[in-house]
Amino acid sequence: MSGVLGWWDQSRTFLTQVRNELERVTWPSKKEVYATTFVVILTSIFFGIYLWGVDLLLNSLIGWVFDALGVA
């Protein structure tokens, strides 16, 4: 029976500590969240287009090599 109670006490202690830590967190402002979200979206678009271009280039290069070697 003490194992169950010990588990319950440990869980309560853990949740209390979590609540105390969350009170100390410095949350970003709405403006900061919008700004960082915008940067992440732009960076994702940039790298998506960049990698698409690299893929097209490498695909064309491999196709040219296969054509030059006569491999189908």
pLDDT in tens, 15-45: 999 999 999 999 999 999 999 999 999 999 9
* Confidence (pTM): 0.62
| Number of domains comprising the chain | 1
pLDDT average, residue stretch 38-59? 98
| Amino acid, single-letter form, for residue 45 | I
The answer on pLDDT for 5 being more than 70 is no
Query: What is the rounded distance in angstroms from the CA atom of residue 8 to the CA atom of residue 29?
Result: 36
- Residue 36 domain boundaries: 2-69
Query: What is the rounded distance in angstroms from the CA atom of residue 23 to the CA atom of residue 27?
Result: 10
